[in-house]
Chain A
Amino acid sequence: MKVVGLSGSNVGSKTRTAMNYVMKAISEKYPEVDTTFIDLADYDVQFSDGRNYLEYEGDTGYVAKTIMEADAIIMGTPIFQASIPATLKNIFDLLPVDGLQDKVVSMLVTAGSSKHYLIAEQQLKPILAYMKAQIVQTYVFIEEKDFLQKEIINDDVLFRIDRLVEDTAILTETYMKVREAKEAEYGF
């Protein structure tokens, strides 16, 4: 099982901080899982121009190919201007139609205000559904007050992160089995 952690912004520290906890939790609980972490702040990703993702070079090519090779993606995103950041939307634009088919995607959201709670529900999930991802319905929503000096100080958040990791792993495993069983039935 290949899991990619994706921190979807090129600025700020909260999403990155929370994603560090996610990656730690997954490697501790599931040491056999092959994990890769991509923080978009570390990469120089160009804007999508509609070409096939295999044809991008450099960082853009690396990021797109790594995501396309994943069985599961845990996406971390901040909320900017009541939406996901352009950097994360650009990642979706780099990928093909139906690009998340047969992949499990789970979400972690950081925000400065509780008013942003439904943004993942109303803006991120529709994109994932359109791209045919298997979505882990429950996401982790973390507010400003849960962080202090690049650490999470609310134990409840840590528990929720552990549950997100567990849900992602179990759904991926289950979904793989469902697909195997279904494909075996076709007989070709």
Chain B
Amino acid sequence: MEKYRIDKNKPMEFGLYTLGDHLPDPVNGGRISAEQRIHEIIELAQLAEQAGIDFFSVGESHQDFFATQAHSVVLSAIAQATEKIKISSSSTIVSTLDPVRVYEDFATIDLISKGRAEIIAGRASRVGLYDLLGYDLNDYEALYEEKFDLLLKINEQEEINWEGEFRAPLKNARVLPRPQNGSMPIWRAVGGTPTSAIKAGYAGVPMFLAHLGGPVSVFKRSIDAYREAARMNGHDPDELPVSTAGFLYVAETTQQAQREYYPHINEGMKLTNGRGFPKQNFAQGADVRDVMNIGSPELIVEKLLYQYEQYGHQRFIGQMDFGGVPFDQLKKNIDLIGTKILPEIKKHTAK
């Protein structure tokens, strides 16, 4: 685990992530500027750090209603603005980037942040960026596998010899600068299904599992399958960290949290995915057995501890800023997380 900067003796890590969406606030109909949104994301990372949150990450999404396409640039500003919080992408779409440049960027962010940077590499759930960046969608799978593999190799070897289909060969190439400790944590982003979790297990790389809604028991299958696949391929699952990522929103009462966050999720999903979030499913999300971490501080603590007991994972990261949530509300969330949620989680997951 040390390789991934996870200390087994410490409590479960708690983080925040943003996709960098730039959606109108459905409650007042207004939309802040991209400039303001980016500054608020940077400030959010600072506030998260002050509240004792362990991790903050920013995603790239190349479509309308997003502002952090250049997520590594935003992360470098966050690296400068913070001191101890871990920072990462969530995700870097390695399929449509050059892994050499990705590594150069993130190794630099690691140096700026003095050893706090990580990469979560994904493959995008949307395909517009293939046209935008000049890739063929038919290579979706092959692009990801080849480039993710190269990214891992660069992380392991300072001097590299490599040949592949989607990039010019590398001959005795040195990819510089190196991260503070020579290498950095690189995670594989996985959607909900066991099939894709198994691939991460076979590769023996840390897994980031996205789960927006549904029973904990279903996602537990993916985590179990991941560890089993790792074991079968000669990796030690005890050395492979698992993180989950999903919605997070806290208010004084569960009903208030639902009332405040639902319109943002529903309208935001409509604009970015073409379908809203069914109210019935959202209502069920308040059940302790559902992964959706939306509710009162007490409920969220109970949910997170239940998830921890079921998954035995090392980190949870929550998305609380989706769909134009006003900054004041985000600040209130961070305050509640820092004062009511974190102390309980840390207490009950400490070794």
B258 within 8 A of A: yes
Q: B255 and A188: CB pair below 8 A? A: yes
Q: How far is the CB of B106 from chain A (nearest CB, A)?
A: 28
Residues of B within 8 A of A102 (CB): 278
A156 within 8 A of B: no
Q: B273 and A54: CB pair below 8 A? A: yes
Q: How far is the CB of A43 from chain B (nearest CB, A)?
A: 19
Closest to B271 in A: A54
- Complex partner residue of B126 from A55, A65, A96, A183, CB under 8 angstroms: A55
B226 within 8 A of A: no
Q: Bound state CA distance, A68 and B282, in angstroms?
A: 21
Q: Bound state CA distance, A187 and B260, in angstroms?
A: 11
Q: A188 and B280: CB pair below 8 A? A: no
A85 within 8 A of B: no
Q: How far is the CB of A147 from chain B (nearest CB, A)?
A: 37
Most buried by B among A52, A65, A68: A52
Q: Bound state CA distance, A143 and B128, in angstroms?
A: 44
Q: How far is the CB of B281 from chain A (nearest CB, A)?
A: 10
Closest to A187 in B: B255
Q: A187 and B259: CB pair below 8 A? A: yes
Q: B275 and A186: CB pair below 8 A? A: no
Known interface pairs A49-B137, A55-B127, A188-B255; A183-B279 also in contact (CB < 8 Å): yes
Q: Give the secondary structure class of A's interface.
A: loop
- Complex partner residue of B275 from A99, A182, A187, CB under 8 angstroms: A99
B274 within 8 A of A: yes
Q: How far is the CB of B211 from chain A (nearest CB, A)?
A: 16
Q: Bound state CA distance, A54 and B283, in angstroms?
A: 27
- Complex partner residue of A52 from B126, B262, B279, B283, CB under 8 angstroms: B126
Residues of A within 8 A of B273 (CB): 52, 54, 96
Q: A186 and B283: CB pair below 8 A? A: yes
A141 within 8 A of B: no
B125 within 8 A of A: yes
Q: B274 and A52: CB pair below 8 A? A: yes
Most buried by A among B125, B255, B273, B279: B279
Q: B275 and A96: CB pair below 8 A? A: yes
Q: Which of B221-262 contact A (CB under 8 A)?
A: 255, 258-259, 262
B contact residues, total (Cβ < 8 Å)? 17
Q: Bound state CA distance, A49 and B278, in angstroms?
A: 25
Closest to A64 in B: B274
Known interface pairs A99-B275, A182-B280, A183-B279; A52-B259 also in contact (CB < 8 Å): no
- Complex partner residue of A68 from B274, B280, B283, CB under 8 angstroms: B274
A51 within 8 A of B: yes
Residues of A within 8 A of B126 (CB): 51-52, 55
Residues of B within 8 A of A51 (CB): 126-127, 137
Residues of B within 8 A of A96 (CB): 273-275
Interface string of B118-161 (1 = CB under 8 A from A): 00000001111000000001000000000000000000000000
Closest to B278 in A: A101
A53 within 8 A of B: yes
Q: How far is the CB of A56 from chain B (nearest CB, A)?
A: 10
Q: Bound state CA distance, A175 and B344, in angstroms?
A: 44
Q: Bound state CA distance, A54 and B128, in angstroms?
A: 10
Q: Bound state CA distance, A68 and B273, in angstroms?
A: 11
Q: How far is the CB of B290 from chain A (nearest CB, A)?
A: 14
Q: How far is the CB of A2 from chain B (nearest CB, A)?
A: 15
Q: Which of A163-188 contact B (CB under 8 A)?
A: 182-183, 186-188
Q: Bound state CA distance, A182 and B283, in angstroms?
A: 11
Residues of B within 8 A of A65 (CB): 274
Known interface pairs A68-B274, A102-B278; A188-B259 also in contact (CB < 8 Å): yes
Closest to B260 in A: A188
Q: Bound state CA distance, A183 and B275, in angstroms?
A: 17
Residues of B within 8 A of A54 (CB): 273-274
Q: Bound state CA distance, A99 and B137, in angstroms?
A: 23
Q: How far is the CB of A98 from chain B (nearest CB, A)?
A: 8
Residues of B within 8 A of A99 (CB): 275
When A and B form their complex, which 6 residue pairs have the shortest distance between CB atoms, in order from nearest? A188-B258, A188-B259, A54-B274, A186-B283, A51-B127, A183-B279
Task: Give me 6 A-to-B residue pairs in the complex whose CB atoms sit less than 8 angstroms apart, sorted by A's number.
Answer: A49-B137, A55-B128, A96-B275, A102-B278, A188-B259, A188-B262
Q: Which residues of B are interface residues toward A (Cβ below 8 A)?
A: 125-128, 137, 255, 258-259, 262, 273-275, 278-280, 282-283
